[in-house]
Structure 1
Amino acid sequence: MRAPLLLRSTLLLVLVATNTLANERNQPAVRPLLLSEHLDEETHRVSVKGAVVTTLRFEKPVDPDKTKMLGWEGRLEPLAVVRNKVILEPLHDLNADEALPLLVTLVDGTEVSFLLRPPRRQEWAGADQQVDVFKDRESYAAMHSALQRALEENGTLSEENARYRKEETSEDHALAALLASGALAQTPFKAVDRFSGRDEKATVRARVFQGKGKAAVVLNIKNLAPEQPWSMTSTRLVTKDRGEERVVAIRAIFREIAPGASGVMALVVDKSAFLEDGQWTSLFLEVYQQEGFRQVLVQLDPYLVAR
């Protein structure tokens, strides 16, 4: 874990490597793999991450004597087979160009080849935590798993479409877009504080603004990693004492930040977010990056909106 860098001001900016809260929010990722859909492929990719257990679950028991993995020494814990499951636990993240072959043999002689790789960039922090492998796509379990995944994907798309429609008419999102583009003069905000922080992966410069019943933060993030792009997986705004979720409007002018490059992100918070049971409260604004770490923590105090 990287050592936290703490800067104190009227606000608080922390660059800290912690994935505790992110992991609490994420449910285990289960992915079905229907072998009959991939007859032309010799191997099947499995995304793995350091210190994250990945389980391959099959319909029939696995033959441990004929299940082998190459080049795992120093990269993964020894391979474990428990009945119909193969358990993988990388000791650390694999390099972007690393690929470890795995051959799983079932007791009926069926052989399935896998390639263990780090998550693709577009997958952000998503390792495969459980892969349910089905040989017969017509089986009840396979059809049920595929249906559940389709329903989940459809629900996610519906939620995203509803969110996009709401953001199109949101005043706070419009203000965040102006701030992110540098058009401060077209907004009601004025700067009241600024400070910066740095760790081995990024530098962050923060500017804090007051507006008419609103507060805003503009983050300028520079990616210090020599090879890996920087991207944001999520943001979270919670009350300081109870940890209750609050709404925050976000606009970023980047999808991912290339090594050595910088990107700007703006966040706008309405006055109502600072009220808890009719009393003023401080807020914590958290930004999580692609590896699941909390990169930025900003404390927003009620003086920004309480007039």
Structure 2
Amino acid sequence: MWNFLPPRSALLLVLLASAAMARGRDVNVRSAYIFGRHDEGVDRLYVTPDAATILRFQQPCDAAGTKMLGWEGRFEPVGCTGKSVVVVPLVRIEPEDRFLLVVRLADGTEVPFTLSGATRKEGEWPDQQVNVFLAPDTREELKDQLKTAREMRDGLMDDVRRFYREDTPDHALAKLLAAGASKQTPFKLLKKRVIKSEGEETTVRIYKGKAKAAVLFTVTNHDPSKPWNLLEARLVTIRPGENPEPYVFGDKKPFALRADRDEIAPGESGNVAVVVDRSAFTTENGNAELILEIYRKDGWRQAYVVLDERLTRQ
């Protein structure tokens, strides 16, 4: 069926990458402000065996006075070094579980925390670093609050700018593909391949069109408990004959991306669609091949596709 394709300079190549890391990993860092008497309220931490949780205080902690109840067999011994307390689960903690952690600081202050299993709900993602401020009325603490508020504002502004920047015809086409409405687009399916790996199955569909190409990734999440999330997609140039393993450092090219959901729950499938304009293949030295990569949230490259400019011809 595919004999018309040249043997070496095939229009595309789909491979699963096993050890390439994405730049700019997602790290969940937040600040916890504890007001008034510290025994009047208990801050909650959400933990997972996939990552350590670090508590950062403004003063050193007392290792002898820092304890957790019922940790045996489920956590490593609580670490207390300098101003940091480290919590490392050994097994998955259920959302309904509760473990009491009491941190004693150098001045004798005891700060209690309740540890629970992380979930996919908003606000219950795993805590990787928590900066703890007691009675935040000092200049340093107020500055941190102001910094957090400004970061939230800047994040909202970035979302607004991205919304207007992504309101293009190519994004509309990508949205149709992600919604499973490929027949409403000008694209023709060229090739389909299924990639199976531990925890996921990825179906890759390559489309050709007039002056544009498209790729649709359908990810089925077989993990029994963890959702699948897209961290980022990259489209970069690749030199002729260059090996795309394990990572490609080419010039970045623009593309349009749409997904049909924010995350893929265990046992479910979701789509990520990318549309590439013919102009993306143009370089100072003529037309170049491009490599399209998608990375899941833990930083590992899920799959990549090598695209040729001929995909944009009809």
- TM-score, L = length of structure 2: 0.80
Aligned runs of 1:55-74 on 2, under 5 Å? 55-74=54-73
Cα gap change, 1:211/1:290 in structure 2, threshold over 3 Å: closer, same or farther?
same
Check the 8 A contact 2:101/2:114 in 1, yes or no.
yes
1:128/1:278 CA distance change after superposition, 3 Å: farther
Contact in 2 for aligned 1:49/1:93 (Cα 8 Å): yes
Root-mean-square deviation (CA, aligned residues, Å) is: 3.1
Runs (5+) with no aligned partner, structure 1: 1-8
The within-5 A match list for 1:148-187 is 148-168=147-167, 170-187=168-185
Q: Give a deviation string over 1:69-99, Cα, whole Å, max 9, x none.
A: 2344455443222222213344566555555
C-alpha offsets along residues 251-303 of structure 1, whole Å, 9 cap, x if unaligned? Answer: 22223333333222221112232234343333332223344433232222333
The change in CA–CA distance for 1:117 and 1:270 in structure 2 (over 3 A counts) is farther
Q: What's the offset of the Cα at 1:36?
A: 1.2
Residue 58 (structure 1) shift: 1.2
Mapped partners of 1:116, 1:46: distance in 2 = 5
- Counterpart amino acid of residue 176 in structure 1: A
Name the amino acid aligned to 1:242. F
Q: 1:211 — aligned with what? A: 209
- 1:216-295 matches, cutoff 5 A: 216-240=214-238, 241-295=248-302
Partner amino acid, structure 2, of 1:111: E
SS of 2:114's equivalent in the other structure is strand
Q: TM-score, normalised by structure 1?
A: 0.82
SS at match of 2:135: coil
Corresponding residue SS for 1:247: coil
Partners of 1:140 and 1:56 in 2: CA distance: 21
Matched residue SS, 1:25: coil
* 1:152-194 residue CA offsets vs partner (Å, 9 max, x unmatched): 11111101111112223x0110111122233333322111111
Determine if contact 2:235/2:255 at 8 Å carries over to the other structure: yes
What is the CA–CA distance in structure 1 between the aligned matches of 2:81 and 2:221, rounded to whole Å?
42
Residues 25 and 125 of structure 1: is their aligned pair in 2 closer, same or farther, counting only changes over 3 Å?
A: farther
Report the CA distance shift for 1:76/1:187 in structure 2 as closer, same or farther (over 3 A): same
Contact 1:124 1:231 in 2 (8 A): no
Q: Which structure would you say has the larger Rg? A: 2
Whole-Å Cα distance in 2 between the matches of residues 195 and 282 of structure 1?
Answer: 20
Q: Cα gap change, 1:77/1:15 in structure 2, threshold over 3 Å: closer, same or farther?
A: farther
Moved more, 148-157 or 96-105: 96-105
Q: Structure 1 residue 227: deviation in Å? A: 3.7
Q: 1:115: how far off?
A: 3.0
Structure 1: how far apart are the matches of 2:209 and 2:265?
32
Contact 2:95-2:117 at 8 Å conserved across structures: yes
Q: Conserved in 2, the CA contact under 8 Å of 1:125 and 1:233?
A: no
Worse-matched range after superposition: 36-45 or 282-291: 36-45
2: CA distance, partners of 1:39 / 1:32: 16
Task: Count the aligned residue pairs.
Answer: 296
Query: Of the candidates 178, 181, 199, which is equivalent to residue 197 of structure 2?
Result: 199
Q: Which residue of 1 aligns with 2:13?
A: 12
